[in-house]
Amino acid sequence: MVFECINKEGKKVERWKGHISSFEDYGTHYEIRIVSRSSILVLFGKTTQGAFGCMPDFGAGCHLVNPRDKFWNTEKLTRVLGKVDGITVATALYSIADKLKI
């Protein structure tokens, strides 16, 4: 699955493509491999406080909400991954939200 990421800062708009190269449903969590400007492995699942995203190759993780809430998830993910990778992961989750049973 291919998706488009957008970073708007003032009048400047930056766009790039991302691709979900693999998607596994383990029943308790999902494993999503995203290829974009970097390659990111995301473990996504549910907790008593909502959802979580863990990016073990980056040594990062955070609480998230419904994958359809791209604004909230982008805010949280950019804090732990940086601007480009945070936007990429939030957009990827948004693009496959219908497949995530969270």
Query: What distance in Å separates the CA atoms of residue 102 and residue 93, rounded to the nearest whole number?
Result: 11
**pLDDT for residue 49:** 86
User: Domain limits of the chain?
Assistant: 2-99
pLDDT at 102: 76
Q: How far apart are the first and last CA of the chain?
A: 20
pLDDT in tens, the chain (102 residues): 899 999 999 999 999 999 999 999 999 999 999 999 999 999 999 998 889 999 999 999 999 999 999 999 999 999 999 999 999 999 999 999 999 987
Q: How far is CA 71 from CA 24, 67, 78, 101, in A?
A: 25, 10, 11, 19
DSSP lists the bridge partners of residue 22 as: 33
Encoded tokens for 20: 């979900």
Locate all alpha helices (DSSP H) within the chain, ordered by sequence.
Answer: 70-81, 83-95
